[in-house]
Amino acid sequence: MFRILRRLNLRAQYTLIPLTAAFLLSFQITANAQQRSAASEQKAQAATQAADASGDPNTLDYTTSWIGNTYPGNGTEPNHALQHVPLDVDGIYATPDGKIYSNTTWDEGGRPVSIFKEGKLISPLNALNNSPNFQNGGGDAVAADERYIYKGNSANGTDGGQGISVLNASDLTGASVSLTGSSTLPKSYEVNGITIADGKIYVAEGDENVVDVFDQKTLGLIRSLSILAPARIAVDQQGGIWVSENDNTPLPNLDGIVFNYNTDYGLSTIRHFDCAGKLINTITLPEGGEVSALWIDNLGFLLVGDEGPDQNIKVYGNLLSAPFLVRTLGVKGGVYAGNKDQRGTIGPWRFRGITGIATDSLNNLYVSQNGWGYAHGNGHGTQLQSYNIFGETNWSVDGLEFVTTMDMDQHTQRDIYDPYHHFKVDFSRPAGQEATYVADTVDRFRYPDDVRITGISSTTQIQYIEGKKFLLVGPQSGGYMAIYRFDDSASGPGKEIAIPCAAFDYGAFQGKYQDFDVQPDNGEFIWRDLNGDGKLQLDEFLEPPNDLHRDGGTFWMDSNGDVWQVNYQAEYPPYENSIHLRRYLFQGFDSYGAPIYDFNHMVVYDAPNDFQGLTSVGSAIFDPQETDGGTLYVYGGTNQIARYDHWDKGNRTPKWILNVPFDPDPNNTWSPESFTQDRKYVFVDFNTPHYTLIYSTTDGSYVGRFTPGTDVGGLPNIGNDDEWQSIRAHHLKNGEYLLLKEEDYQAKQLLFKWTPPSTLTKISAPAPPTSVTAVPADEQVTLSWTGGAGALVYTVSRSTTKGGPYTAVDSGIYQTNVTDLGLTNGTTYYYVVSSLSETGTSINSPELEVTPVAYGKTYEAEDSVISGANIYPCPLCSGGALVGYLVPGTSMTFTVTVPATGAYAIRIYDCNGDSTTPPADTIGIKINDGAQGVSPVLPFTGTYSTPGYVTFNASLSQGKNAIVLGDPSTFTNGSPNIDRIVVPTAPSP
């Protein structure tokens, strides 16, 4: 079944899908990819210190640089820390002295409001403001005078997300004043326009259908004007108000899905009102026009940004009587104009999604652009340009990257791409100047269904198939892969524009959130552009035979053109434990030069059957030429990377398995994000800390570490990697290696260049734990040890056979003790413990032999007489279940038989994961209708699947006894989750 589906209009980013297979089964939607704070910076510093203590000499010969932002993010003064051009400037305002104030709905690095002068960023960091959430969220509009900056808020609730915040112009701190008297402004989520004229502040509130006018001196309301859907606003020399209009036409609504990033947010009209709000006349842009910005210069001309196909500025004169179009500024068609060699190329006056226009007292012109236009943005990047009255460029600054991974054209080694932009690189130039932004590869008018327009794309791969170049992009989560071809023939769009030609998608997320503007509504599919027009048609989709839809992600294309995809069933619990790797075999090209794929030419590899040594499979990289039959690198298991040579010859035995360090310690988090490989080395990056670890492809041994230098911000000022594929590596012809790494915090991409030494010194693995002890208990064993030198975390493995083989039962342990649950009493187990760091895995500790013994007789909670509570599955609980949510008024009754009268030390096993702060839960206890008692405080286990116990003493009579656990309705002692009770076989001595 097919439908045209449009997605809910949310400014949302998709969270990462980490490498670990368990996390592949549960990604979420969040309003921001990563928000930095003092606490997170402290974590990064702590991680640095821990790694330095591990003995890593870190003497690699590498340099750090950056791409995609005018500034490196290394401000040297406290007031100018984290210098970068903010992402996706949504509106600007100029004061007569040539200061440019910008506002951005979201800037990860804390500069939603920024100030520029003569091409330099002169504003302090917004994190210095009074509000703790002020540092990231902004809006679509801004204005300023000598005292204050008036900042529109629309960042989905951040910093209130409503109305206007008033900042001190001197330092961007929150002012102690506000605009007062309006009943609508505090409720408005769409402050789309702000301007100042003749001592008054004008505010367009799109969702409230109001333009409010405030006194500039007192900040009190003068009047409210009822104006439908006001957007951008300007005021002429006679006090006439010029207002553009939001397009509030309802979008197609199918099953509640109404999303499309390419929706028109502005109409083609500008309405002229007098100071009392009476409509005087209307200007309508030429056909296809869409107003994205308004400004009246000091000569009295109205400048209109047109984000329609013209992509230019239209200048209107004679405003006070009969306005007419005087001239246009900018190349008609903007970045899309020209012949096949020019389309997509950027340059002076070739605008690309105008979001703001302003002029100063000298009539210097300022234009902000984000690649999409008014109220779109959020991922496509900022260009802020200035032109003098003669049309010459004064300056231009860029902030182009957000949650993006770049890739290099390996054939030229001079071209680098992200999902939207093309850069030319010259490595002989100084750091930060190696890359020149030359073109956009997306054309939203020629290919309106392009998923890069209707959604936000993050990952990039450049791959050649039989000599033809293709661009591959995907989202932050890895849930789809879109394939683009290039055609610079006379009939094509030009050498820079990438044409949508194929796509893989695992289907709707939670049944609603679609990736593509048109797609099947019931699961995964392959799309092929059968007629070569680059647009989505309903007859161009393939679905699996027999409607066997599955979930997946983390796509990769090899140099043969085969597409590799992680695949699993995770729509409904219980989620499958084994994860599959699909391989879609390249079937040649169609008549338009697009690759052909279908579900009938697909190979499925299963873990663990096809992946010896791994229990699950995550992302994969296949190199058909590295060995005879190709070499497959797979991330899977418990943070492991395995190399399989001669894969297509049938080999399934790994050449080596690398254990990647990870550490769940909340004070020192090591979280591996993704890996890449080229020739002799595997590179692994981390969400935190901001390292890239390097390993040899020969034997998996540790080589060294990249850390971002202070010239690009240093460790504390680098964003957390949060894409499923956040790095790309390339071997350069001169023997160097280039690593491109996500850095969304300051709207740039990191670039590492490394020259490997002729001989690498092998770095020692950490020492194993010492003084390991094992204490048996009822159905469990508790192990303790002394940490090994240089260890980050530990792995506990066990076997039921002396000498192994051992299976890891718990890993990533940052404490020096752990309890192994769910064991069989009377069975002998053999344990070893190993240390793990970035330098490798230690040898095992000496084997310990231990046999858990029954403490007494177990009485399962689910077998008791239950009143008012429910039974829930619990994999690590005795019997695989617990009785949960025992709120006041509920109970459970156990019938317990003992051989003799006396005092018994009874254990209550409880699971508690209610919060990160241990709650003081207790439960009522009544023995044989005796007095009501209360248990000791029950253990806080931090999860509903891991039981712990407390002991209470009870006097029992020989024979049967009734033990009631539960709180009377008057109790307020929490809501325990009981696994079982265990009664000793004899009274206490």
Least confident of 131-145, 173-187, 317-331: 131-145
- Domains observed in the chain: 2-36+403-754 (2.130.10.10), 69-399 (2.130.10.10), 770-850 (2.60.40.10), 857-983 (2.60.120.260)
Secondary structure of 377-413 in HEC code, one letter for each residue: CCCCCEEEEEECCCCCEEEEEEECCCCCCCEECCCCC
Mean pLDDT of 898-926: 84
CA distances, 649 to each of 465, 629, 644, 653, 739 (Å): 22, 5, 11, 12, 31
Condensed to tens digits (0 to 9), the pLDDT of residues 535-577 reads 999 899 999 988 778 888 889 999 999 999 998 775 555 556 6
pLDDT over 70 (residue 501): yes
pLDDT-derived band of residue 173, with 50, 70 and 90 as boundaries?
confident
Q: Quick one: which of 980, 594, 663, 610 has its CA closest to 815?
A: 663
pLDDT over 80 (residue 740): yes
Q: Give the SS3 label for residue 521.
A: coil
What pLDDT does residue 512 have? 55
What pLDDT does residue 297 have? 97
Quote the CA–CA distance of 377 and 104 in Å, as a whole number.
9
Choose from 78-87, 377-386, 625-634, 916-925 the range with maximum mean pLDDT.
625-634
Condensed to tens digits (0 to 9), the pLDDT of residues 448-464 reads 889 998 888 999 999 99
pLDDT over 60 (residue 129): no
Q: Which residue has the higher pLDDT, 379 or 218?
A: 218
CA distances, 217 to each of 152, 175, 191, 388 (Å): 19, 14, 21, 32
Least confident of 347-351, 652-656, 721-725: 721-725
8-state DSSP, 104: -
pLDDT-derived band of residue 106, with 50, 70 and 90 as boundaries?
confident
Quote the CA–CA distance of 722 and 547 in Å, as a whole number.
32
pLDDT over 90 (residue 646): yes
What pLDDT does residue 581 have? 94
pLDDT-derived band of residue 670, with 50, 70 and 90 as boundaries?
confident
Mean pLDDT of 848-874: 94
**Cβ neighbours around 157 below 10 Å, total:** 13
pLDDT-derived band of residue 511, with 50, 70 and 90 as boundaries?
low
What end-to-end distance do the CA atoms of the chain give, in Å? 73
What pLDDT does residue 196 have? 98
* Beta-strand runs (E) in 400-529: 407-408, 415-417, 421-425, 435-440, 459-465, 468-474, 480-487, 494-505, 518-520, 525-528
What pLDDT does residue 814 have? 85
What pLDDT does residue 5 have? 29
Mean pLDDT of 303-323: 96
What pLDDT does residue 516 have? 85
pLDDT-derived band of residue 221, with 50, 70 and 90 as boundaries?
very high
Condensed to tens digits (0 to 9), the pLDDT of residues 775-828 reads 998 888 999 999 988 898 999 999 999 999 998 888 888 889 998 988 999 999
Q: Which residue has the higher pLDDT, 124 or 684?
A: 684
Choose from 522-526, 736-740, 880-884, 916-920 the range with maximum mean pLDDT.
736-740
What pLDDT does residue 271 have? 98
Side-chain half-sphere of 905: how many Cα atoms within 13 Å? 6
pLDDT over 80 (residue 964): yes
What pLDDT does residue 915 have? 52
Mean pLDDT, the chain, as a whole number? 87
Answer for the pair 977, 965: CB distance below 8 angstroms, yes or no. no
Tokens 């901001």 -> residue: 690
Q: What percent of the chain stands above pLDDT 70?
A: 87
Condensed to tens digits (0 to 9), the pLDDT of residues 404-442 reads 999 999 999 999 999 999 999 999 999 999 999 999 999
pLDDT over 90 (residue 127): no
> How, if at all, do strands 148-152 and 142-144 pair?
antiparallel
pLDDT over 90 (residue 761): no
Condensed to tens digits (0 to 9), the pLDDT of residues 679-704 reads 999 999 998 888 899 999 999 999 99
Q: What percent of the chain stands above pLDDT 90?
A: 65
What pLDDT does residue 131 have? 43
What pLDDT does residue 941 have? 76
pLDDT over 80 (residue 1): no
Quote the CA–CA distance of 954 and 952 in Å, as a whole number.
7
